[in-house]
Amino acid sequence: MDEYEIMLVWDDDACVWIAESPDVPGLILESHSIDELIKKVKTAVPELLEISGIKLPEIKLHFKADHLAVVA
């Protein structure tokens, strides 16, 4: 089983979470909800890997989230 790192970054200007990965060609998704974004990623990653010629029986996704908040 291969493991793929998925970065989830909050875009304060657009008010959305963005998912990207150097390990998954073509992955760039966004959503207002981190939970909804993770669902989208779980659907998209196998499809994108298959398009790239990679077929795996099982895929492990390692999500890393980054959100910088400025407070008083």
Cross-strand bridge partners of residue 7: 20, 64
pTM over 0.85: yes
Q: What is the pLDDT of residues 13-62, one digit of tens each?
A: 999 999 999 999 999 999 999 999 999 999 999 999 999 998 888 999 99
pLDDT number for residue 57: 87
Strand-pair partners of 18: 9, 30
Which element (helix H / strand E) includes 16? strand 16-20
2: confidence class by pLDDT, cuts 50, 70, 90: confident
Q: Which residues contact 32 (CB under 8 A, 6 or more apart)?
A: 15, 16, 17
Which run of H or E residues covers position 22?
A: none
- Note the pLDDT of residue 1: 59
The yes or no reply on domain 2-66 and CATH 3.40.50.10800 is no
DSSP 38: H
